[in-house]
Structure 1
Amino acid sequence: MHVKVLIVEDELVVRNGISNFIKDMGQPFVLIGTASNGEEALKIIQAHSPHIIITDIKMPKMDGLTLVKSVKKMYPEIIFAILSGYADFTYATKAMRYGVSDYLLKPINKEVFGTTLNRLMAEVVKGSIKYSHLLQNQPKWDMGLIRLESDLLDCVEMANQSGLNDKAQLFIGEIRKRSQNDTIKAIPYLTDFLVSLRKRVITNDEIRGFIEPIIEKTIESLVPETDFSKIVEKVHRLLDSSVYIVSQYKKTGSPDLTIRCKEIMDANYNKEISLQEVAEIIGVSAAHLSRVVKKELGKNFTEYIVDLRMEKAKNMLETTKFKVMDISKTVGYESPDYFSRIFKRQCGLTPQDYRSQFLIKGGQK
């Protein structure tokens, strides 16, 4: 599924900036066009039927709120986010009354924008005709159920077949209990879960091509089913298939993510390299890579880089006579003072004290 986005903004610099954000995010987002006012936007909307519209409030000819009001009457399924440089609660509340889903303030932070766009995409998926009848009267999820779902999704994402059945039984068992074995009450929970599964595991086109049709088929098959045991069987079959597909992709589609990530971090630990950059090199999302690194290495990306730098620094303090300022630059810190603070926080001693202690002990740790 492609999520079509339209930008409506009269300031060229802002319009181009947001357009670049969307292009950088890549699939499933597709920028179908830009407009400088509401009148231009209406023509594009009629021609291309966007899923999401991000519009400024203050514009010539037709402002953002008028655009929202007009479009919502004709296309109530379109998701809106309002963009404005005016941090005015009145605008926000008025926009929400018109059916706007989110409110962004200029200047736009790329990370915040990405989070917002993903949240809007979730609304698109849940609001589509295919799913809307399944998600009516959607029950609330508390933290206990969210944790069970997260554990189960982790098993699929990591292709952990051994842990899958136990996690699935716990999760489905909790849904059965909450729905009192009533399939009508359980289906919204399960559909919501399958939408989450779709977003979590479909990280590239290859996996999408295999798993997405199975998820679609499973969601569609839930509606007429009244036998809870058959519903559970269908969900288990989907989960088993998903784990198998992910495991095969890990074996044949690309080397193990953790190994690839470690290789890149080990080779570039002394440079300014970000999780996003490493994820782009490997070809996965930054969020997915972050979860994998934390799960497999027991520490996040930044912690791993810092620990690696400290190990390299300790080795140089033990085996060379380099000055602290030279070691600092070698392991990636321009400021020796900052390096010394990090080193002491990590190792309990200043670099000078560490070297002195090592020499006193005769080179024995």
Structure 2
Amino acid sequence: MYTVVVVDDERTIAEGVAALFPWDQVGFRAVPFTEPKAALAYIRENPVEVLLSDIEMPGMNGIELCRAVAELHLTVVFLSSHQNYEYLRSAIQCRVEDYILKPIQSKDVIECFGKIREKLDKRMQKEKEQPQSYYDAIKKQVIAYLETHYQDARLESAAARVGLSAAYLSSLLRDKFGSGFSEELNLIRMRKASELLRDVTQKTYDVAYYVGYDNPKSFSRAFKNHYGITPREYRMNYTGKEEGLE
């Protein structure tokens, strides 16, 4: 099942398109947004294959949103109530897959996304047929990125480094290696944190911030979930000393 993010500043359209069209018939699930910037944040943090966006929107229009996700290699489809030449020209420049006019018809969606599904399936199959050494090389690059950027690592940035979409990189890591991007990032963060906690001069809240947590309590929960003990208990077990503040 692929994911399509639907963006339209009119809530009835965004939610209506996501809820009323037979997405499952063409192998998709739809996630609606009325704020382009919120949609962009979601796309950057989650596996998404297709962006279905209105063009005329306040704050950030569809063209700008399309350009903002260009490095993620998403398939983009525009929605519009106008047959405007400038929009069409911009769509071509952005390498948009299709251009659906409002009011949207089910047959147009099914036809458009049926073709997109076929292309995505072929691309996925081709990538799956790569030799294991190809996947090993990708994971090695991702781990190298995480080792350096574990404080602020993002799936989209890692994907851009290896020339894949964020959605495909996420599924590749899970399918080929049994753990996703977030799990790999957490492993590295926890390892770095354990190293820092062995130094009793380091405050726990400083360790939390250093490994990418803004909230020390969130860090403590994550640490305990990973190691089975709190950062304080880990430090006591390892050094026999306590920081005094946590």
TM-score (norm 1): 0.33
Q: When you count helix as a share of all residues, which structure comes out higher?
A: 1
